[in-house]
Amino acid sequence: MKISELITVLGFQVDDRELKRATSAVHEFKKLVAGIGIGYLMYQGAHAAATTAAAYQSSEAQFTTLLKSQVEAQKLMKDLFQYAKESTFEMTHVTKAQDILMSYGMEVGEAFEVMKRLGDVAGADAAAFSRLALATAQVYGKTRLMGEEQRQFLNARGGMLAKEVANMYFGGDRAKMEAAQRARKVSYGMMLAALRKLTDEGGRLY
């Protein structure tokens, strides 16, 4: 079935210019959706398809710059697309979180792992997902949890993460944890370990 015929069947009304954009977008997505399924793209209609493809191309270009390899960027985009399909988040939310983490120097594999775990913490809250990614990236960049990032965590559904750090390293005493934070003794490694425990099998958010 041609794209124009599919759009007619779905009941969408688009002009020739938008139809051409959608057709081009679908062709750009051909390799990506080959192993995943085209239904996710098609149900959104021609206009959404063009918008999604434009965002996809922009993200791929950004990841190509960060990874210095278009092949690796395309592989990452396929992994992100698969995660977006299975999660409560849209592709734009997922690529934004991954981009934030990598922009602070996090290696692609660790960033992908952390991004998915932060998605578990955020639940279905896309805004919290983005804020958690930024706070985590900043802790990674500074190697320590600072006051600014602690506030960001608490304002973005990160209270459980702070509680897990307190439980693991300070006997559950939040006051001791806050004192350690002020003394710059709460490391990124401690935050990552708490995040993993929280979201691994048996954890509160698994």
pLDDT tens figures, 12-35: 455 566 556 656 655 665 565 555
- Residue 97 pLDDT greater than 80, yes or no: yes
* Residue ranges with strand state E in the chain: none
- Report whether 16 contacts 24 (CB < 8 A): no
More confident residue, 181 or 32: 181
Crossing angle of the two packed helices 174-182 and 159-169, in degrees rounded to 10: 90
Taking the CA atoms of residue 6, residue 10, residue 14 and residue 19 in that order, the dihedral angle to the nearest 10 degrees is -20
Give the whole-angstrom CA distance, residue 115 versus residue 109.
10
- Looking at mean pLDDT, say which of 11-25, 104-118, 142-156 comes out highest: 104-118
* Residue 158, token pair as written in the block: 């990160």
- Residue 9 pLDDT greater than 50, yes or no: no
- Residue 159 pLDDT greater than 70, yes or no: yes
The pLDDT, as a whole number, for residue 6 is 46
Overall pTM > 0.85: no
- Nearest alpha carbon to residue 198 among 121, 97, 111, 94: 121
Q: Which of 1-5, 132-136, 169-173, 202-206 has the lowest mean pLDDT?
A: 1-5
Give the whole-angstrom CA distance, residue 115 versus residue 106.
11
* Residue 105, token pair as written in the block: 């120097």
Average pLDDT, the chain: 85
Give the whole-angstrom CA distance, residue 101 versus residue 43.
31
More confident residue, 89 or 7: 89
- Report whether 161 contacts 198 (CB < 8 A): yes
Give the whole-angstrom CA distance, residue 169 versus residue 183.
15
Place of tokens 């734009």: 92
